[in-house]
Amino acid sequence: MFNFYTRDIGIDLGTANTLIYAKGEGIILDEPSVIAVDVYTDKILATGLKAKEMGGRTPERIRVIRPLQEGVISDFMMTQTMLKEYVERIVPKKRMFSQLRAVVGIPSGVTEVEKRAVEEVIRQMGAREVYTIVEPMAAAIGAGLDIDEARGCMVVDIGGGTMDIAVLSMGDIVSSSSIRYGGDKMDEAIAHFVRKKYNLLIGIALAEKLKIEIGYAIPPDGEYRDVTMTAKGRDIITGLPSAVEVHSDDIILALEDSVRIIVDGVKGTLEQSPPEIAADIVESGLVMAGGGALLRGLNVLLERETGLRVLVAENAMTAVAEGTGKSLQDISRLRYHAQTSRKY
């Protein structure tokens, strides 16, 4: 017999990763937003980490798909299939006719059409109630900020596909900006730099690893030792496999434009803020979340450029997911914002 099963979940449906938070349990799923499919048979071969590891290594008949791009759904059917598989992991099979209530994070700059697409794909996976919350708001809640206080605070959420910056006060957004630029574009910039400097073609997965392992936004203060990492790929001149030593200084140069986009985005949002709110932020500083917040030295650079205290959330990678789940504690406010079509 199938049993009805009620569960409240928060979903961070990210370009790079999908995280699911369950009320009373915390993060119960954290997987890459990737799916592998056999194009001849339409059979799903893998999702999540297993699918991501296939990237660049598959025969022609197998496609490795990232169904979300720049924070929004680019392939509805593949997103639906991926999410269905993830939900089956967290809900016992004998309880698949579940009563799911879900809150999902969306970039603050999405269109109404993009927002409805997210809501629909969550409903298709079996949720009876679906609410959306803008990601910087979710990040602030997840990071433990008091967003209801009559006092301004600022959040910078740098995900795989988008960067959302928001100034918050009294439970709502005072000013914000959403830039379709995130960790993915950083990885592309690193791959491009390595190709240009070393004549070596590398995959995006390796570029991401270089960023994580030896990446800096700026050289750190004090004693600094340039570190290296071996990058293996294909020499674009000879066409043969090759390897080079990539330096942390290379990553700094590769990410110069990316870092400038982040700094300019933060400054632009601050310039939109009322003077009273700006004064609050001078005192409280700003909080960074998302995978991009973990780039070494980025917080220090923002401090230099803005004169503000910059903190990286301890749970930077999971703050949005945790915030979506915790927002279910105030379901009346979610319903109010849904009825008034405001992007909470």
For the domain that residue 231 is a member of, what is the CATH number? Answer: 3.90.640.10
Q: Which residues have CB under 8 Å from 336's CB, separation 6+? A: none
Closest CA to 180 of 271, 273, 246, 114: 114
The reply to whether 157 and 284 lie within a common domain is yes
The reply to whether 175 and 82 lie within a common domain is no
Please report whether residue 313 resides in a domain.
yes
Give the span between the Cα atoms of 315 and 294, in whole angstroms: 10
Convert the pLDDT of each residue in 123-146 to its tens digit: 887 788 899 999 999 999 999 999
pLDDT given at position 60: 93
Please report whether residue 1 resides in a domain.
no
Give the span between the Cα atoms of 208 and 185, in whole angstroms: 10
Please report whether residue 344 resides in a domain.
no
Convert the pLDDT of each residue in 41-64 to its tens digit: 999 999 999 999 999 899 999 999
Average pLDDT (194-205) is: 97
For the domain that residue 288 is a member of, what is the CATH number? Answer: 3.30.420.40
Range of the domain at 230: 183-252
Q: Which residues pair with 243 in a beta bridge?
A: 232
The reply to whether 210 and 165 lie within a common domain is no
**CB of 246 closer than 8 Å to CB of 210:** yes
> In this predicted structure, which of 8-12, 111-115, 197-201, 329-333 has the lowest mean pLDDT?
329-333
Coil/strand/helix, residue 302: helix
Given 221, 252, 283, the domain boundary residue is 252
Checking if the pLDDT of 97 tops 50, the result is no
The reply to whether 122 and 102 lie within a common domain is yes
